Amino acid sequence: MKSLIKIVSVAFIVALSISTATAQSDKKTEEMLLKKEKKEMEARIQADKKIARKALRELRGSEVSDLSKQSFASDFGEVSDVSWARSTNFDEATFMKDGAKTTAYYDYDSKLVGTTVDKTINDLPPSAVNDINKHYEGYQINKVIMFNDNESNDSDMLLYGTQFEDANNYFVEVSNGVRNVVLMVSMDGNVSYFSTM
């Protein structure tokens, strides 16, 4: 009888252990599947966002759109001495704002994509200046501009012949007499190569 109780007890403990191990294994498998589904969903969302972004469309004709001029007046108010030009992808309004040369870029739909403003090396984050001096020793900083993105417009921007996803960034032109390079500097000071000129 005692042996029977021991056998039943051992069998019960083994069955309980197997059941617990199976439950833990099922829980780990479920967690792994949830993580995998989450990654797949995030990847699909990113792909959908990329598809949803408007591709740059070329403007037709050589005349600046009246609608772009109206949008400019709505965005910036009454500004004197505005110089308009039409590039391949944008209607561009160049004007002075707060004492700095500013250019506003309007897309195919006459919506503001963003602005560029002339800046100086002193406007860059100190860590970026240190990084540029370290990695581009012998180069001279020729020009600094800041691109300010219009977050309500998903159109990509094109500067220095290179398209990029909108984000506020500085663009720094450096040269060593032989090579002219444009660097992109994030607002928090990360420096990366952007293009050559």
Lookup result for tokens 């032989």: 178
Residues 147-156: b if buried by 16+ CB within 10 A, e if exposed: bebbeebebb
Q: What is the pLDDT of residues 160-179, one digit of tens each?
A: 989 887 789 999 999 999 99
Q: What is the reported pLDDT for 60? A: 73
Q: What is the reported pLDDT for 34? A: 63
Q: What is the pLDDT of residues 71-87, one digit of tens each?
A: 999 999 999 899 999 99
| 6, 60, 143, 190, 197 from 133: Cα distances, Å | 79, 42, 15, 13, 19
State the average pLDDT over residues 137-145: 96
Q: What is the reported pLDDT for 29? A: 72
Q: Are strands 100-106 and 91-97 parallel, antiparallel or unpaired?
A: antiparallel
Residues 69-81: b if buried by 16+ CB within 10 A, e if exposed: bebbeeebeeeee
Q: What is the reported pLDDT for 22? A: 62
Q: What is the reported pLDDT for 52? A: 46
Q: What is the reported pLDDT for 45? A: 56
Q: Give dist(CA 184, CA 189) in Å, integer.
A: 9
Going by pLDDT thresholds of 50, 70 and 90, the confidence category of residue 195 is very high
Going by pLDDT thresholds of 50, 70 and 90, the confidence category of residue 31 is confident
| 38, 42, 49, 147, 154 from 45: Cα distances, Å | 10, 5, 6, 27, 15
